[in-house]
Amino acid sequence: MKEGRDNIDAMDGVKAQVVRWISDEPQPGWVEVHLIDAHGVTHSLFDKPPIFESVATITSDAHYPIAAVLDCDIAPGPTDDAVTVALRHGVETSDGKHTFEVRRDLVV
């Protein structure tokens, strides 16, 4: 990511953590991921492991938490310390939220 509020790459990633394996069904399984926003609120995201495997392979017998990077589009945020991320690949919270303000240091 480029430095400065107005120089944001069109697509990047945001750090998150895979916190648990939920189920083996549907194949290839289902996991819970936590994304912490700029206000300290933890958002739970649920999807298949391959969506979150940018850093490590996720299996049912892995040691959790596992670092993950979520693909996202990034736009300037409300302050120099925060950016707005829109998650890609249909990843969202159970209530349909897919856009978050996050600390700039969580963007990779």
pTM for the model: 0.86
Residue 5 maps to a domain: no
Domain holding 38, by residue range, is 11-106
The predicted pLDDT at position 55 comes to 65
Distances (CA, A) of 88 to 2, 19, 60, 79, 91: 20, 20, 24, 23, 6
Per-residue pLDDT of the chain (108 residues; tens, 9 = 90+): 444 434 444 458 999 999 999 999 888 899 999 999 999 999 999 999 988 876 678 999 999 999 999 999 999 998 999 999 999 999 999 999 999 999 999 999
d(CA 76, CA 43): 20
Q: How many domains does the chain have?
A: 1
Residue 1 maps to a domain: no
Distances (CA, A) of 34 to 76, 79, 95: 22, 23, 14
Residue 3 maps to a domain: no
Q: What is the DSSP-derived secondary structure letter of residue 51?
A: G
Residue 32 maps to a domain: yes
Compute the Cα dihedral for 97, 101, 69, 58 and give only its sign. Answer: negative
